[in-house]
Amino acid sequence: MRILLIILFTLSLHAQENWPRQLEKLQQSIAIVEYYQPQIESSNINSDTRIKRKITGILVGEDGLVMTSDEIFPANLDITQSSIWRFSQKPPEDITVSFKKGKKYKAELIGKDQEKKLAFIKITGKADLPGVIVFSDRDDFSIGESVFMIEHLDGRFNFERIVTRANINSIMKVPEKRLLSVSPLRPLSGGGLVADAKGRAIGVVVRENLPAPVHDFGMENYESYSTLIKIVPGSEFLELIDKPPVLVHRNAGNGKSWLGVQIQILTRAMAGYWEMGNTSGIIVNSVLPESPAAEAGLQIGDIVTSVGELVIEG
């Protein structure tokens, strides 16, 4: 009996060692990003309605740089225009970041990377910040490897942090490297931190609806996987942390050269959605009246693939 108890105690200690102690420290740098999402604007609708939202963010810069999900400024795939409607997504407003409950810091949107589904905001003013998360650039992942995801629960659970353990079930290598795992948890948002068994920050959780074929009465329909998740490894976005993407704002110029359009990148997903093959470029989302772009004949929905001999790579 004594030998059995010793064995069980040893196994218990071993199990605890498999749960990285560094996770507690990493959790301190996981933030709640709160913002107001304005109602999609239309040329025929004038409304100040705003929706309050919260998502997960990660402190990645000592200057207050926070990486979060691109949910904070979603892309609009429908850029068609008629004589009646004209829609465009407004940037988020009144952004705040909190690492501890009750203490919020004002922040502003810097930009986003549509392909990697990541956005960057920056805390403005002085702030008492926790340690910065430094991501590993390791690239030697293996199927079956254990990972730990630090995310937030939704409002029903007071937005508490939650740590879940999962395994890498598959590794995608094209078009960009992604780690696939399975988790029944539906957290507050994407943008959660992923750590390995040594407690190193190795990636970010990307949550999206992935279509799954469902056969019903002989016809193929599509639903969504609710458990399959993607993980973007740190090696894929370290350069973005060093040089975050900058949002192109609409304005009427400031005395310098300007074009007068609002644009977004034509991603692979969009090109596939419109059955355009491997077309790369930028999409014209809006054209300012009496701007150089308007005088040149650019219209909403135009896709620019080159300017002279310069090829535009999305």
Q: Are 202 and 233 in contact (CB under 8 A)?
A: yes
Q: What are phi and psi of 281, to 5 degrees?
A: 165, -155
The one-letter amino acid code at 55 reads I
Global pTM value: 0.70
Residue whose tokens read 């696939």:
180
Q: Report pLDDT for 208.
A: 64
Measured CA to CA, the distance from residue 5 to residue 26 in angstroms comes to: 34
Query: In 3-state terms, what secondary structure has residue 296?
Result: coil
Which residue in the block uniquely carries the two structure tokens 């609806």?
209
Question: What pLDDT is attached to residue 115?
Answer: 83
* Burial class for 266, CB neighbours closer than 10 Å (0-12, 13-18, 19+): buried
What pLDDT score does 76 carry? 55
> How many whole angstroms separate alpha carbon 46 and alpha carbon 57?
31
The pLDDT of residue 89 is 65
The set of residues, in sequence order, having a beta carbon less than 8 Å from that of 286 and lying 6+ positions away, is 86, 88, 250, 261, 262, 300
CA atoms within 13 A on the CB side of 236: 22
Positions in the chain whose pLDDT score sits under 50: 4-16, 42-45, 77-87, 210-225, 250-255
Predicted pLDDT of residue 275 = 81
Q: What is the distance in angstroms between the CA of the first residue and the CA of the last residue of the chain?
A: 67
* Residues contacting 168, CB < 8 A, separation 6+: 141, 142, 143, 144, 145, 147, 179, 180, 181, 231
Q: Are 288 and 260 in contact (CB under 8 A)?
A: yes
pLDDT at residue number 242:
94
- Token readout for 131 is 């340690």
DSSP 152: E
| pLDDT at res. 150 | 96
Q: What is the reported pLDDT for 137?
A: 94
Q: Are 168 and 179 in contact (CB under 8 A)?
A: yes
pLDDT given at position 56: 97
Tens-place pLDDT, residues 51-105: 899 999 999 999 999 999 999 988 654 444 333 334 456 789 999 999 987 799 9
CA torsion sign, 26 to 188 to 107 to 61?
positive
Q: How far is CA 216 from the centre of its chain?
A: 33
Using the 8-state DSSP alphabet, how is residue 113 labeled? E
Going 15 to 21 to 27 to 29, the CA torsion angle's sign is negative
31, 65, 186, 312 from 243: Cα distances, Å: 21, 11, 31, 20
Q: Which of 184, 229, 183, 227 is nearest to 203 (CA)?
A: 229
Q: Which domains does the chain have, with CATH numbers?
A: 24-123 (2.40.10.10), 146-232 (2.40.10), 261-311 (no CATH)
How far apart are the C-alpha atoms of 69 and 189, rounded to whole Å?
Answer: 7
Q: For residues 178 and 180, give the distance between their C-alpha atoms in angstroms, rounded to a whole number.
A: 6
> Rounded CA gap, 132 and 62, in Å?
6
User: What number of other Cβ atoms are within 10 A of residue 269's Cβ?
Assistant: 14
Q: Are 238 and 135 in contact (CB under 8 A)?
A: yes
- 3-state SS, residue 26: helix
